[in-house]
A and B are shown apart, each in its own frame.
Chain A
Amino acid sequence: MKTCVIMICGFVISCAAISVDEILDKSEANDNFSTMVSVNTEEVYRADGTVRTSVMKAYAKNGNEKMLMEYTEPKRIQGMKILMLNDGDDIWFYSNRTNRVRKIASHQKKQSANNSDFSYDDMSMSDNRKDYSYSLTGEEEKDGKDCYKIEFKANEEDQSYSRFFMWIDRSNYLACAAEFYDENDNLWKSLTVRDIKKVHEYWTAGEVEMRDILKDSRTVIRSTNVEYDKELPDDMFTERYLKR
């Protein structure tokens, strides 16, 4: 989901616009950095009260066209890598224990990424406008911000969500919240974006929280050491690099 990727992406403030396509265009225009590197700490708060923490380093190139994530902690998954190409349409998973690269099929994008409340689909940059029909349902305040509220409805039944709402901050066109519904139209997950600050010339989300209402768990991802427009070689985003 595009909204979830903002934890590792930069955003640029743009002026307000009216039509839903213009709002989404401006929101997506926030991703026009050449490269981005960040360190992300993921905390999974489970229903039984336990917390699981992992750390991954993320690299992105050409906006979100190419992305590589490498887990550095905990030891159980250290060295595990996820490569996303073509804005998240193609995802490869590498396990250093089996030394095997596997391409993740589209249906597997619904699976949880590292037992968190984010699915691979949430983490990827899939084009929501292609898979969902969307409309502007109005303007309302969300978490103290004046927002546009956009509803997305799945074009086909096999999408991760039957529909979802996205709130986009009117002041900077950043997605600041979302709510996702399952196939039975029950509220399944909710997303909140916090700690938005400017890093270099890009607006960057410092914290993203995904709450799974049905499982009564939540995952918080905090981004630190964010750097933009640093030189990253193209061969870093290949299957060959995964095995290195």
Chain B
Amino acid sequence: MKILFLALSLLALLNPAKSDETLRLGGYLESSINYFDGKNEVTSSNALFRLEGNYDIKNKGKIESHLLYHYDMKPLDPFHTFKDKSIYSKIINNYYQEMYDGLEIEERIVADRLLEIYSSGYFDHLSYSSFYPKETIVLDRALIKLYYDSFDITFGKQQIAWGTGYAFNPTDVWNIKDPTAPDASKIGVLAVNLAFFFGDNSSLQIITSPGSDFDHWKYGARIKSTAGRFEYSFSGIRDKTDDGELLGIPEKFQIGADLTGEIFNEIGYRFEGAFLNPRYHGMAATDTDSSYVQFTTGFDYTFGNGLYFLTEYYYNGLGEKRNSDYDIRSFLRLTGGEMSGLAENYAAFAVSYTLKNDYILSIVSVCNIDDNSAVFVPEIEYSFDENISVKLGADIFAGSSERSEFGGIFNSISLAVTGFF
């Protein structure tokens, strides 16, 4: 890492760009601490360093690379945020029980011994120990973009953001979105992206993202334009990935549309919907027996005093109406990004307001309408300096701890300091 940073810095200093070329280096460092209000009162902390390099060649193209370096001190157990009798714990326990039941006697003895070691508390400390590796490096963006008269073409790892929804983006198959963190940066996708431009603000995007063979390449196209005070787009996707193979998610075809604009007295309106047709094993491409719809629609408005309010409804045709039907398949669909919640119907709210001296107060909430649970994410941000911000936030969960999607998760608070350079 040190050698890489040094090399990039030297590159900037020793090899100044020509007059029609610019080289910019920047990024940020973020350090955060989290406290989970569980029975073990777990804390975690992490540091994130992001180095952003951008080399512009005027009117011809650019080369861009963003490197993320994570240092995480957190529990080894990925399910440590779930309460013992939560829906998630039941789903995972049932899954492990099924696996256990399928083992031979000798295998069960080994599994029991492993479980005994795991339950001893040894692993509670292992991931915090200096013996345990905690560093990961991610190349978030690594792209070359070429400009032509009527189109741009981008090769490499790049951010792709589709859709107009705020908390939910059913048309965006390129990213997995957390509805409780709608403004979070999206991790880059390795792809070739060809964008044609018509008029001032109309475009056609054709994207393909590679996989293990051509059958596992993802293909998509999106056409976007404006009509009066509305912006709209239509998209089509053929989605079959290696991630899907691992999680048991089938190939699917998707047709999507989105719209954003204003209605009545300048109230913002947005809609984003997708029709999806998965092709399970043995099905023909024309079979539509398993097809479903996902859509989100909502409004936002800023009041005269600067208070911003947003509300969205999300219908998830792949979700379960009854909480008793949440199972491992639902869990994998959620973690695999096929849907943004376990249930069928959701409402999301967001409020933000700038207080005196630029303290920014915001609250995001996602409510599961079917099982009556919700998560509230309040946050207050203060700009300590032009380039340093401090954020104090919390995740507060409400609902039945044993029978709802959100009620079975421990509350947490976090403090994050970010410095930009």
Query: In the bound complex, how far is the Cα of B363 from the Cα of A67, in angstroms?
Result: 33
Query: A240 with B386: in contact, given A78-B26, A103-B231 (CB under 8 Å)?
Result: no
Across the interface, which residues of A come within 8 angstroms of B306, CB to CB? Answer: 110-112
Which one of A99, A216, A237 has the highest number of Cβ atoms from chain B below 10 Å of its Cβ?
A99
Query: In the bound complex, how far is the Cα of B197 from the Cα of A237, in angstroms?
Result: 13
- Min CB gap B418→A, angstroms: 8
Across the interface, which residues of A come within 8 angstroms of B62, CB to CB? Answer: 244
Decide yes or no whether B357 CB sits under 8 A from chain A: yes
Across the interface, which residues of A come within 8 angstroms of B56, CB to CB? Answer: 244
Decide yes or no whether A47 CB sits under 8 A from chain B: yes
- Min CB gap A153→B, angstroms: 15
- Min CB gap A48→B, angstroms: 5
Are B358 and A97 closer than 8 Å at their CB atoms? no
23 A-B pairs, CB-CB below 8 angstroms?
A52-B383, A52-B386, A54-B386, A74-B386, A74-B387, A74-B420, A76-B389, A97-B185, A100-B159, A105-B261, A107-B302, A108-B300, A111-B306, A115-B358, A158-B265, A182-B304, A216-B356, A237-B200, A238-B200, A238-B201, A240-B152, A240-B197, A244-B62
Query: In the bound complex, how far is the Cα of B226 from the Cα of A239, in angstroms?
Result: 12
Query: In the bound complex, how far is the Cα of B300 from the Cα of A145, in angstroms?
Result: 43
Chain B positions 48-100 with a Cβ under 8 Å from a chain A Cβ: 56, 62
Chain B positions 105-163 with a Cβ under 8 Å from a chain A Cβ: 145, 147, 152, 158-159, 161
Are A108 and B268 closer than 8 Å at their CB atoms? yes
Q: Number of B interface residues, CB 8 Å?
A: 46
Please report the number of residue pairs spanning A and B whose Cβ atoms sit closer than 8 angstroms: 103
Are A47 and B357 closer than 8 Å at their CB atoms? yes
Query: In the bound complex, how far is the Cα of B200 from the Cα of A97, in angstroms?
Result: 23
The digit string for A100-140, where 1 denotes a CB below 8 A from any CB of B, is: 10010111101110010000000000000000000000000
Of A53, A98, A108, the contact of B159 (CB 8 Å cutoff): A98
Of B159, B260, B421, the contact of A103 (CB 8 Å cutoff): B260
Task: Closest A residue to B231 by CB, please name it.
Answer: A103
The digit string for B173-194, where 1 denotes a CB below 8 A from any CB of A, is: 0000000000101100000000
Query: In the bound complex, how far is the Cα of B357 from the Cα of A44, in angstroms?
Result: 10
Are A46 and B387 closer than 8 Å at their CB atoms? no
Task: Closest B residue to A105 by CB, please name it.
Answer: B268
Task: Closest A residue to B200 by CB, please name it.
Answer: A238
Are A156 and B308 closer than 8 Å at their CB atoms? no
Decide yes or no whether A215 CB sits under 8 A from chain B: yes
Q: A54-B386, A105-B261, A107-B268 are in contact. List 17 more A-B contacts (CB 8 A).
A: A50-B357, A52-B358, A52-B386, A74-B386, A75-B387, A78-B26, A98-B159, A98-B185, A105-B262, A106-B229, A108-B300, A111-B302, A112-B354, A182-B304, A217-B356, A217-B357, A244-B62
Task: Closest B residue to A78 by CB, please name it.
Answer: B26
Decide yes or no whether A85 CB sits under 8 A from chain B: yes
Chain B positions 279-324 with a Cβ under 8 Å from a chain A Cβ: 300-306, 308
Decide yes or no whether A183 CB sits under 8 A from chain B: yes
Decide yes or no whether A160 CB sits under 8 A from chain B: yes
Are B203 and A239 closer than 8 Å at their CB atoms? yes
Query: A99 with B161: in contact, given A106-B266, A107-B302, A160-B304 (CB under 8 Å)?
Result: yes
Query: In the bound complex, how far is the Cα of B308 from the Cα of A92, in angstroms?
Result: 18
Query: In the bound complex, how far is the Cα of B408 from the Cα of A189, in angstroms?
Result: 48
Query: In the bound complex, how far is the Cα of B302 from the Cα of A160, in angstroms?
Result: 10
Across the interface, which residues of A come within 8 angstroms of B260, CB to CB? Answer: 103, 105
Of A46, A106, A160, A183, the contact of B358 (CB 8 Å cutoff): A46
Please report B residues at the A interface, Cβ cutoff 8 Å: 24, 26, 28, 56, 62, 145, 147, 152, 158-159, 161, 183, 185-186, 195, 197, 200-201, 203, 229, 231, 260-262, 265-268, 300-306, 308, 354, 356-358, 383, 386-387, 389, 420-421
- Min CB gap B241→A, angstroms: 22
Please report A residues at the B interface, Cβ cutoff 8 Å: 44, 46-48, 50, 52-54, 73-76, 78, 85, 92, 97-100, 103, 105-108, 110-112, 115, 156, 158, 160, 182-183, 215-217, 237-240, 244
Across the interface, which residues of B come within 8 angstroms of A44, CB to CB? Answer: 358
Are B262 and A215 closer than 8 Å at their CB atoms? no
Task: Closest A residue to B202 by CB, please name it.
Answer: A239
Query: In the bound complex, how far is the Cα of B303 from the Cα of A115, in angstroms?
Result: 16
Task: Closest B residue to A111 by CB, please name it.
Answer: B302
Across the interface, which residues of B come within 8 angstroms of A75, CB to CB? Answer: 26, 28, 386-387, 420-421
Query: A183 with B354: in contact, given A100-B161, A107-B268 (CB under 8 Å)?
Result: no
- Min CB gap A167→B, angstroms: 24
Across the interface, which residues of A come within 8 angstroms of B26, CB to CB? Answer: 75, 78
Query: In the bound complex, how far is the Cα of B24 from the Cα of A91, in angstroms?
Result: 27
- Min CB gap A146→B, angstroms: 34
Query: A48 with B302: in contact, given A75-B387, A100-B161, A105-B268 (CB under 8 Å)?
Result: no
Of B200, B265, B357, B386, the contact of A48 (CB 8 Å cutoff): B357
Query: In the bound complex, how far is the Cα of B232 from the Cα of A103, in angstroms?
Result: 11
Task: Closest B residue to A52 by CB, please name it.
Answer: B386
Of A92, A98, A216, the contact of B161 (CB 8 Å cutoff): A98
Across the interface, which residues of A come within 8 angstroms of B186, CB to CB? Answer: 98
Are A105 and B304 closer than 8 Å at their CB atoms? no
Across the interface, which residues of B come within 8 angstroms of A115, CB to CB? Answer: 354, 358, 383
Across the interface, which residues of B come within 8 angstroms of A98, CB to CB? Answer: 159, 161, 183, 185-186
Are A53 and B386 closer than 8 Å at their CB atoms? yes
Which one of B195, B201, B383, B421 has the highest number of Cβ atoms from chain A below 10 Å of its Cβ?
B201
Task: Closest B residue to A73 by CB, please name it.
Answer: B386
Task: Closest B residue to A75 by CB, please name it.
Answer: B420
Are A238 and B356 closer than 8 Å at their CB atoms? no
Across the interface, which residues of A come within 8 angstroms of B354, CB to CB? Answer: 112, 115
